[in-house]
């Protein structure tokens, strides 16, 4: 049996792939490295399957690190401007950029543009480039962690 609908992109605990053919006893999948695999029905029915094309967009999740000496709000503003120039990012919902955590090395930013599943990896890598280019142009140094070690007397 051949599928007639658009390809289903699925992610289970063991397979991140595109379904190419649904058979009686097995399903043919294409893995990201362009490798074809056959998955038994038991694996398909007993595992978690996510169908990404079920919605018009998918969130790309990228972290961005800042050194403590820089204002995270300035970095957020710069990143939002850079993300607006990346092709295939949805405008509604707009890309989300915000402070996600603080630790001893730096404040961390969450950079979450949205895109259609077909453009996921293009937006993923373009977002990484935008983070690198934006922080480099702003003169942001690489985040560093500082630790103070003190020995007890005696």
Whether the model clears a pTM of 0.75, i.e. scores above it, the answer is no
CATH tag for 58-137 (out of 3.40.190.10, 3.30.70.100, 4.10.91.20, 3.40.367.20): 3.30.70.100
Query: pLDDT category, 5, cuts 50, 70, 90?
Result: low
The residue-averaged pLDDT of 24-36 equals: 80
Q: Tell the residue number behind the tokens 């996510």, with chain if given.
A: 50
10 Å Cβ neighbour count for 21?
14
């Amino acid at each position: 049996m051949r599928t007639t609908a658009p390809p289903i992109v699925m992610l289970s605990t063991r397979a991140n792939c595109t379904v190419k053919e649904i058979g009686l006893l097995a399903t043919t999948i294409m893995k990201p490295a362009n490798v074809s695999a056959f998955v038994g029905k038991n694996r398909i029915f007993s595992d978690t399957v996510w169908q990404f094309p079920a919605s018009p967009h998918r969130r790309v999740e990228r972290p961005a690190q800042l050194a403590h000496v820089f204002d995270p709000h300035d970095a957020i503003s710069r990143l939002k401007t850079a993300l607006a120039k990346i092709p295939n990012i949805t405008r509604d919902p707009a890309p989300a950029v915000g402070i996600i955590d603080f630790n001893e090395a730096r404040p961390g930013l969450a950079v979450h543009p949205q895109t259609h599943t077909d453009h996921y990896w293009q937006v993923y890598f373009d977002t990484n480039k935008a983070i690198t280019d934006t922080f480099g142009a702003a003169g942001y140094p690489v985040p560093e962690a500082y630790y103070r070690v003190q020995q007890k007397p005696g």
